[in-house]
Amino acid sequence: MISSVTNSPLDDIEFLARSEHRVTALDALVRRPQSRDDLREMTGVSKSTIRRTLREFEARHWISRNGHRYEATQLGTFVASGMRELISRFETEQKLRDVWQWLPNEASGFSIEMGTDAVVTVARSDDPYRPVNRFASLLRETDRFRFVGFDLALLEPCKDELARRISNGMDTEIIDPPSVAKHILSTYPEHCSGPRESGHLTVRLHDDLPPYGVAILDHRIGISGHSPESGTVRVLIDTDTPEAREWAESMYESFRRESRPLTPELIVE
């Protein structure tokens, strides 16, 4: 028997984490009683391995046995819940690890927890437009669209889709730096005329926008991160969590209050 007194918490964490089937088995026993054969089939390990695992669980008082079936105790349920949370935290950290430098910082109110259930789309060398393509798919599913921040690298490749959707009734408001608004209006006049005449596009100007982008759609919000060296979109994070939407709405409104309407004289040199 293993005495829990002689084990440090790290020992028990290591025991669970060292073999994935142990976490799977403990989770299964939390849900309902299981036999050895049930657990072996579920985890894909050998009879001897599942037997040893159950002995280890019993020695830690994480499970109890009733005939041929095992079930989690309150201690086992407590441990399984904590392990799931720990795994979830590391899954989130791994999703954000390589793109964190391009996202909003803590001072903006953005938190790592907001990325827990997010879809993280990262540009790859063999598919640099993955974030842009993900963004375009989100545009097709919304009837209202708002955007603030660094948008040129994200919105310019989607200009055809944007122009079509706005002309067809997608209410859109974009807060741009004056230089970006001027570039878009002068470079793509044919894409801008229809949306502006439709009455569904509003462009506002702000002189000090963040180096990332925040998009607010009907059911999701998106955060786009850009490489300052290349100006390309490196990542798009989109999520439907209430916490993330509340942050995005608050952030958007704070910049909107400081913005001014687009008028022809504001973009003429």
Q: State the DSSP string of 72-98.
A: E-HHHHHHHHHHHHHHHHHHHHHHHTT
Contact status, residue 224 vs residue 257, Cβ threshold 8 Å? no
Claim to verify: residue 208 and residue 154 sit in the same structural domain: yes
Query: Does one domain contain both 134 and 259?
Result: yes
Domain shared by 84 and 137, yes or no: no
Q: Do residues 190 and 74 both lie within one domain?
A: no
Predicted confidence (pLDDT) per residue in 98-109, tens digit: 888 888 877 688
Same domain flag for 54 and 117: no
Q: Which of 89, 119, 153 is the last residue of a domain?
A: 89
pLDDT at 161 over 50: yes
Mean pLDDT across the stretch 13-19?
Answer: 91
Shared domain check, 103 and 59: no
Count CB atoms within 10 A of the CB of residue 18: 8
pLDDT value at 269 more than 50: no
Q: What is the pLDDT of residue 6?
A: 65
Q: Which band of pLDDT confidence, cut at 50, 70 and 90, is reported for residue 228?
A: confident
The 3-state DSSP class for residue 224 equals strand
**Looking at 57, 89, 121, which one is the last position of a domain?**
89
Domain residue limits at 73 = 4-89
Domain count, the chain: 2
Question: What is the domain-level CATH number for residue 82?
Answer: 1.10.10.10
DSSP state of 103: S
Would you say residue 232 has pLDDT above 70? yes
- Write down which residue in 25, 60, 89 finishes a domain: 89
Please tell me whether residues 173 and 50 are part of one structural domain: no
| Mean pLDDT, rounded, of the chain | 89
DSSP state of 140: T
Tell whether 64 and 184 lie within a shared domain: no
Structure-token match 């409104």, residue found: 253
Residues 13 and 118 reside in one and the same domain: no
Is residue 264's pLDDT more than 80? no
Residue-wise pLDDT tens digits, 75-124: 999 999 999 999 988 988 888 888 888 888 776 888 888 878 889 999 98
